[in-house]
Amino acid sequence: MKIQLFLLFFFLIFKSAFSQSVSVQADYNAMGDCLFSAYNNTQVPMFLNINLADLENTVFTEPLPYVKKLDPGFNSLFTLQRDPDADVPRFNYELKIFRSNPLAKTDLKFPYLFPFAEGRKVKAFDVKNIDGFWGQEGLKSWTATGFYATEGEQVFACRNGWVVEVAGAERSGEASTWYNTWTYTVTLLQDDGTLICYHNVSDRDKILKVGEKVFAGQAIGQISNGASELVVLIFRDSLFADSPTFIIPQFVFAHGQQGIVTTTTEYTVVHPDEIIGMEMTAREKRKILGKRK
């Protein structure tokens, strides 16, 4: 029978992370082992970093640094096993919460779809600033991709991801829960642990729900009223720095061709099935790609 010698709940805030987003629990069982678990109180995946120190009567065998993706709800973490010839494990630890994977292994050559309808001609422009993205602090280093667009035209996901935030004409609620301070922005957590923001996008038909999965080539909204540009920004948190790391994506120019966009070239949008299906399961391919045939 399991004996809980003590119960610890930690409500952690890392910079402007979700207030009381994750509770971490450490329980001792009848053998004296310490079982760690976490509960993600949000509707979207979060990432937990645990830094253990001053270990006594136990050994931490997980890879370091320890970062765990937390799905919504309960998550089992790890067990600190008791040294059978010693007392119960004792330790100190520091916890941090991230909204993207701070250890994400980013494939800089991953093929992103142009976020417009197939057959459309697109041109990129140099994004001069991202004012308001990071609040009043600003960022010393960043990168983003801009496209000329037409008010009301559909915008499509460049890559698979989970909807983590949909911002309209005005923001409301607790600012510490926001992923950025832009209005008219759809933000997805992508399969590789990075975040992608589509700025100047309106989900006026309410087709997106926080926590749902979106697939490459799926419509996510329209260019917002009065806008003539679409800004795509990809980034992730960093475990070792306060500022996020930004990624320059490579887009699919044609079947079998991709690269970083230039402002001097006009591109024709293609959404090849082999690119759309790259991060899909076999079942998802049958369900989604089957409709395109």
pLDDT > 70 fraction of the chain, expressed in percent and rounded? 91
pLDDT digits (tens, 9 = 90+) for 131-185: 889 865 668 889 999 999 999 999 999 999 999 999 999 888 888 888 999 999 9
* CA distances (Å), origin 143, targets 62, 100, 233: 34, 17, 7
Q: Do 137 and 103 meet the contact criterion of CB atoms below 8 Å apart? A: no
Last residue of a domain, which of 71, 98, 125? 98
Residues 197 and 256 in one domain: yes
> Phi-psi region for residue 105, left (φ > 0), alpha (ψ -120 to 50) or beta?
beta
Per-residue model confidence (pLDDT) at position 267? 96
pLDDT digits (tens, 9 = 90+) for 245-262: 999 999 999 888 999 999
Residues 93 and 122 in one domain: no
Tell me if 105 is assigned to some domain.
Answer: no
Residues 123 and 219 in one domain: yes
HSE-CB at 136 with a 13 A cutoff on CA atoms is 1
CA 98 to CA 78: how far, in whole Å?
Answer: 19
Residues 182 and 89 in one domain: no
Last residue of a domain, which of 50, 75, 98? 98
Per-residue model confidence (pLDDT) at position 3? 27
Count of structural domains, the chain: 2
Per-residue model confidence (pLDDT) at position 256? 84
Per-residue model confidence (pLDDT) at position 5? 26
Mean pLDDT for the stretch of residues 18-41: 87
pLDDT digits (tens, 9 = 90+) for 102-131: 999 899 999 999 999 999 999 999 999 998
Higher-confidence residue of 5 and 232: namely 232
HSE-CB at 193 with a 13 A cutoff on CA atoms is 21
User: Any idea of the CA torsion for 244, 193, 247, 284, to the nearest 10 degrees?
Assistant: -150
- Comparing CA positions, the residue from 251, 250, 235, 175 lying closest to residue 199 is 235
Residues 85 and 118 in one domain: no
H or E segment to which residue 166 belongs: strand 161-167
Cβ neighbour number for residue 41 with a 10 Å cutoff = 16
Mean pLDDT for the stretch of residues 46-51: 95
Tell me if 5 is assigned to some domain.
Answer: no
- Comparing CA positions, the residue from 131, 134, 66, 130 lying closest to residue 94 is 66
Per-residue model confidence (pLDDT) at position 293? 57
H or E segment to which residue 55 belongs: strand 46-56
Average confidence score pLDDT of the chain: 88
Q: What is the number of residues in the chain?
A: 293
List b or e across 253-272, with b for residues whose CB sees 16 or more CB atoms inside 10 angstroms. beeeebeebeeeeebebbbb
pLDDT digits (tens, 9 = 90+) for 197-238: 999 999 988 999 999 999 999 999 999 999 999 999 999 998
CA 38 to CA 190: how far, in whole Å?
Answer: 22
Per-residue model confidence (pLDDT) at position 70? 97
Tell me if 57 is assigned to some domain.
Answer: yes
Per-residue model confidence (pLDDT) at position 45? 95
With a cut of 90, say whether residue 270 has pLDDT above it: yes
List b or e across 220-229, with b for residues whose CB sees 16 or more CB atoms inside 10 angstroms. bbbbbeebee
CA 6 to CA 145: how far, in whole Å?
Answer: 51
Per-residue model confidence (pLDDT) at position 292? 66
Tell me if 189 is assigned to some domain.
Answer: yes
Supply the range of the domain harboring residue 152: 111-292
Per-residue model confidence (pLDDT) at position 242? 82
Q: Do 39 and 48 meet the contact criterion of CB atoms below 8 Å apart? A: no
- Domain at 177, CATH number: 2.70.70.10
Residues 211 and 75 in one domain: no
Residues 94 and 159 in one domain: no
